[in-house]
Structure 1
């Protein structure tokens, strides 16, 4: 899906909660060219919006509790966070954080699908989400990694109305016939203690160069640059604090 603006039901925002916000700002600034703007208000809790040019590209926050781990998360745009949270429960998921107001910018909830994969619901008020998609340095794809793909392909269409494009080895999610994300079944190649999760992918001008640069900045290459059959060139990386994310060649995801 060549998303150019926030679309209801599709990924609208990716944010990282990290144990070292200053180090994360430096790492992603070097890797993606992001510019950090931290909200100075005490009630914002140190939340930072990372910009690509003048457009908001992703969020960054400190860890807010001892149980929280350094990780990326994905938010999906909804018209009514309360109603969608109720639909999550009706479909077999859970509400982890009840819908709440976030300053004057939107209404937010944290939920989990039946397998435990966590994601967020975002009902925009003054802040819609990402202001750029698919350009180098911007969010462009979201992938669910799960050990229960059958239940996932029932749950998400019920909640969001997504279409399901099932291939031989990969399933893609879509809206109005255009795909914006995928599903990867977690097999033996994944550590048994790694929970199901959503993984954001960011577009880059050169996957190989980005993977090498991430390693040089203290990160790790979890999956080397690979060209997917009939698909884009991708890599999966991990930042120095342990948060995983994907990159793909800009212009190759439609």
Structure 2
């Protein structure tokens, strides 16, 4: 079963912090067909929601500090940001930003697991998160890349209550019967300077065509399109400003 709506303790949103928001908006508009939210409020600053068929799909923002990498960040929906932040500390993670209110939108915190893979907590008020999942151009999967799989399989179930479905080559995260993400162990193929991180995958109608289109728009290929178990076809790309992201096409699922 795939995720089709915002679910507490599962992925709810993704944000791109980038060195060139205007260029990034243009790239993803062309690749996924996103539109910029022309109803954004002035108090939102340079935070731009990107829409798919009129509903929120993701956000593109400037980097907020010189040391911030150009990267996508995955957000997880929580019922209580403060209580979840406390569990993060108890489980060996760290808070990079304590729970903070965002206008009337919600309450958020920035955290990292024990290996320092960064993610965001989102306690929704007026804004719940993405309005669409697993449709072409929308978030469909999230993947943790880590050098500490044992630590991760202890940490995330303790914080979010996730199920863990391991196999010989890959571990999947789930909740309430729906697998929404996985974990890939970083081996020697990953340069040591690449930190553990969460990687979003966006659904596409055709992974090969989408990868070719991304390259034509200035992206680099980190992993060429290829098949994986379950009939899916995936690729990993790096946008023109340097942010990695994945794309995937899955057969029809229930």
> Does TM, normalized by the shorter one, top 0.5?
yes
What is the CA-CA distance between 1:67 and the residue it aligns to?
A: 1.3
* 1:129 equivalenced with 2:129 (yes/no): yes
* 1:247 equivalenced with 2:244 (yes/no): no
In 2, are the aligned partners of 1:78 and 1:121 still within 8 Å (CA)? yes
What is the CA-CA distance between 1:2 and the residue it aligns to?
A: 1.7
Partner of 2:33: 33
SS at match of 2:37: strand
What is the CA-CA distance between 1:252 and the residue it aligns to?
A: 5.4
Q: How does 1:209-248 map to 2 (within 5 A)?
A: 209-248=209-248
Partner of 1:44: 44
* Cα distance in 1 between the residues matched to 2:197 and 2:246: 13
Q: What is the TM-score with the length of structure 1 in the denominator?
A: 0.97
In 2, are the aligned partners of 1:232 and 1:253 still within 8 Å (CA)? no
SS at match of 2:144: strand
Partner of 2:188: 188
Deviations 1:171-224 (A, max 9, x none): 000012221100000001111100000000000000000000000001111100
* Cα distance in 2 between the residues matched to 1:251 and 1:131: 21
SS at match of 1:128: coil
* Cα distance in 1 between the residues matched to 2:63 and 2:88: 25
Single out whichever of 230-239 and 132-141 deviates more from structure 2: 230-239
What is the CA-CA distance between 1:60 and the residue it aligns to?
A: 0.7
* 1:18 equivalenced with 2:18 (yes/no): yes
* Cα distance in 1 between the residues matched to 2:22 and 2:106: 26
Q: How does 1:1-254 map to 2 (within 5 A)?
A: 1-37=1-37, 39-41=40-42, 43-251=43-251
* Cα distance in 2 between the residues matched to 1:252 and 1:108: 34
* Cα distance in 2 between the residues matched to 1:164 and 1:2: 15
In 1, are the aligned partners of 2:3 and 2:179 still within 8 Å (CA)? no
In 2, are the aligned partners of 1:231 and 1:252 still within 8 Å (CA)? no
**Equivalent pairs, count:** 253
Query: What RMSD in Å do the two structures reach over aligned CA positions?
Result: 1.2
In 2, are the aligned partners of 1:36 and 1:50 still within 8 Å (CA)? yes
What is the CA-CA distance between 1:251 and the residue it aligns to?
A: 4.1
Q: What is the TM-score with the length of structure 2 in the denominator?
A: 0.97
* Cα distance in 2 between the residues matched to 1:126 and 1:62: 23
SS at match of 1:132: coil
* Cα distance in 2 between the residues matched to 1:171 and 1:159: 17
